Structure 1
Amino acid sequence: MLALIAGTGDLPAVILSRVDGPVVTCALHGFSPSIDVEIPFRIEHLGSFLNVLRERGVTDICMVGAIRRPPIDPSEIDAATLPLVPRIQAAIAKGDDGALREVIAIFNDHGFAIKAAHDIAPDLLPAPGFPTKAQPSDWHLADAAEGERTIAEMGAGDIGQACIVRMGQVADREDVDGTDAMLARFHEDYIKPEPDTVLAALHQSIGSMLENITGSAADPVTADDGILFKAPKPTQDRRADLPTIGFQTAMGAAEAGLAGIVIEADGVLVLDLDSVVETLDAQGMFLWVRPKGAL
């Protein structure tokens, strides 16, 4: 039997709808998933929770949705959890990736196998290529390479899975508030009340620069020509916490004035690909499912 430990967001409901066989839904105290929860639990009762799962016949665990590391109330720790306290404290003290690895290790040590969301719904990992009508331009290829380098750098610090790259420069990086908040920040910072004036000045500046370099005029990159780049941290355990995009991401990227979205192939889940593609097509934007290291 599968136990689905659900966080926030749309992914838990999608995975629950794809489970073939019995499933028990669970959620950590303080989080309200979009699905009905059969077994809520506190981190201070983790040992008891694992015992309950074992008694229910659970053999596999799938963790989906956003979860932030909760505070621990020492007065709430029960006897079954007391032996796990050093490991729980160590996990809480680590970054997101380190904490996730420790939690997975605890589950494994108690006899549970971890199933990834894409094990249950493999179609959430789209095939490499360009499912949209629009495709990236040459400068977007360079921006994507910069995005990959940036995510590798961010991953070393365990601090995010997405960034915005614009004309070879990183304009923003995902933090604990997530991708939607980053896109909103970018919109606030770069989409001005009089964009025509800004664009005209930028066109003139970049056009002059390109003419000086090449000896001829060229079509400049516009101010709204950045990309959202999203990929897993290079060393993360891909059985949980793979980055996800969906309709909301596509809308946020469009509102931020970006040219497209680039995701790492086999590393980013796409919820309702048809809706994402339809949204981007309507805005003349592209989606590039990019193999890691592609030029």
Structure 2
Amino acid sequence: MSAKLGILAGGGRLPSQLIKLCEETNREVFLVAFKGQTDPETATDVDHMWTRLGAAGKILKKLKDEQVKELVMVGPVKRPSMAELRPDWRALQFFAKIGAKSLGDDGLLRSVISAVEDEGFLFRGVDDLLSDLLATEGIYGSIGPNEQAYEDIKRGVEVAKAMGRVDVGQSVVIQQGLVLGVEAIEGTDALLSRCGELKRGGEGGVLVKLKKPEQERRADLPTIGVETLKSAFNAGLKGIAIEAGGALVVDRDALVNMADKHGLFVIGINPTDYE
């Protein structure tokens, strides 16, 4: 029998999908729901606790009391300020170990995972547990990029890789070779909203999402879903390119149906093909 799984739940539908899989496979699960992050419906009909992000001591004690052996981070988490985080003494000890070198999102997550594993837990990647969510290479649906879109994807790969090397973000929007916007702390939906106001005339732009070169795969893999596609459509984009094998696609069938309906393409790419 698989070890009891602790789910550290961010927003979106992924936590619920993982809970459903655990139910179908008779795997014991315990949910850690974060105030202001986790969808309240996620915690329905599952053993759980509600807490704030900074309550590390309380979280670790509860996970050990529940005899959780493996942990997974699932769903996006809005990075709070230190004032919003209000770290307890245990969290402050983590930050002391992490140091200033881990100020980027990926460095921070990697350090947190290492510190938690020192407590005796094993961290798993969501793609280990929900492998069918990994993006595959090729065109999704019936619409593909045209020549200009391929050029924008190539430019987007170049910019996204440069951003990833300095641990800034995973997404960039390119229109006709112009960088309309890059993702920082605001997240993809806010990036797309901002780029909608900056778009130029002519063909719409392309959202390119890649994992960072040194990405901690067990947390924060780039993800798209129906809401991402809606935001891309509202921003006047003509498509989305994601890294095959390095990004997650939520509700693939619904995503493809909506993309075809609205005339957008979605494509899984190998970034090395665009260098």
Which secondary structure state, in structure 2, belongs to the residue aligned with residue 98 of structure 1?
Answer: helix
Matching residue of 2:129: 120
237-246 vs 69-78, greater mean Cα deviation = 69-78
Matching residue of 1:226: 205
Residues 47 and 84, structure 1, Cα contact 8 Å, conserved in 2? no
> In 2, Cα distance between the equivalents of 1:82 and 1:146?
41
Letter in 1 for 2:155: E
Matching residue of 1:65: 75
Q: In the alignment, does 2:36 pair up with 1:25?
A: no
Which secondary structure state, in structure 2, belongs to the residue aligned with residue 146 of structure 1?
Answer: helix
% identity of equivalent residues? 34
283-292 vs 26-35, greater mean Cα deviation = 26-35
TM norm structure 2:
0.86
Question: Are residues 25 and 75 of structure 1, via their aligned partners in 2, closer, same or farther at CA, if it must alter by over 3 Å?
Answer: closer
Q: 2:237 aligns with which of 246, 249, 258?
A: 258
Which secondary structure state, in structure 2, belongs to the residue aligned with residue 9 of structure 1?
Answer: coil
Letter in 1 for 2:19: L
Matching residue of 1:134: 143
| CA displacement, residues 240-272 of structure 1 (integer Å, 9 cap, x when unaligned) | 101111111111111222121100101111110
Residues 124 and 270, structure 1, Cα contact 8 Å, conserved in 2? yes
| CA displacement, residues 176-221 of structure 1 (integer Å, 9 cap, x when unaligned) | 1111111111222227xxxxxxx5xxxxxxxxxxxxxxxxxxxxxx
Question: Are residues 273 and 73 of structure 1, via their aligned partners in 2, closer, same or farther at CA, if it must alter by over 3 Å?
Answer: closer
> In 1, Cα distance between the equivalents of 2:85 and 2:257?
49
Larger CA Rg, structure 1 vs 2: 1
Which secondary structure state, in structure 2, belongs to the residue aligned with residue 254 of structure 1?
Answer: helix
Question: Are residues 92 and 31 of structure 1, via their aligned partners in 2, closer, same or farther at CA, if it must alter by over 3 Å?
Answer: farther
Letter in 2 for 1:71: M
Residues 69 and 92, structure 1, Cα contact 8 Å, conserved in 2? no
Residues 263 and 289, structure 1, Cα contact 8 Å, conserved in 2? yes
Letter in 2 for 1:22: E
> In 1, Cα distance between the equivalents of 2:72 and 2:190?
26
1:77-226 paired onto structure 2 within 5 Å: 77-78=88-89, 83-84=93-94, 86-87=96-97, 90=99, 94-190=103-199, 199=201, 223-226=202-205
Residues 94 and 112, structure 2, Cα contact 8 Å, conserved in 1? no
Structure 1 residue runs without a partner (length 5+): 192-198, 200-222
Deviation of residue 144 (structure 1)?
1.3
> In 2, Cα distance between the equivalents of 1:55 and 1:42?
18
| CA displacement, residues 99-122 of structure 1 (integer Å, 9 cap, x when unaligned) | 101110011111111111111111
> In 2, Cα distance between the equivalents of 1:263 and 1:81?
34
Which secondary structure state, in structure 2, belongs to the residue aligned with residue 170 of structure 1?
Answer: strand
Structure 2 residue runs without a partner (length 5+): none
TM norm structure 1:
0.81
Residues 132 and 285, structure 1, Cα contact 8 Å, conserved in 2? no
Matching residue of 1:292: 271
Which secondary structure state, in structure 2, belongs to the residue aligned with residue 190 of structure 1?
Answer: coil
Letter in 2 for 1:163: V
> In 2, Cα distance between the equivalents of 1:113 and 1:48?
18
Residues 135 and 242, structure 2, Cα contact 8 Å, conserved in 1? no
Deviation of residue 51 (structure 1)?
2.9
Q: 2:262 aligns with which of 280, 283, 286?
A: 283
> In 1, Cα distance between the equivalents of 2:256 and 2:220?
23
Residues 44 and 72, structure 1, Cα contact 8 Å, conserved in 2? no
Question: Are residues 92 and 5 of structure 1, via their aligned partners in 2, closer, same or farther at CA, if it must alter by over 3 Å?
Answer: farther
Deviation of residue 127 (structure 1)?
2.0
Deviation of residue 131 (structure 1)?
1.7
Q: 2:13 aligns with which of 2, 10, 13?
A: 10
Question: Are residues 101 and 261 of structure 1, via their aligned partners in 2, closer, same or farther at CA, if it must alter by over 3 Å?
Answer: same
Deviation of residue 136 (structure 1)?
1.1
> In 1, Cα distance between the equivalents of 2:157 and 2:86?
44
Matching residue of 1:211: none
> In 2, Cα distance between the equivalents of 1:138 and 1:74?
46
Cα RMSD (Å) of the superposition? 2.5
Deviation of residue 44 (structure 1)?
4.8
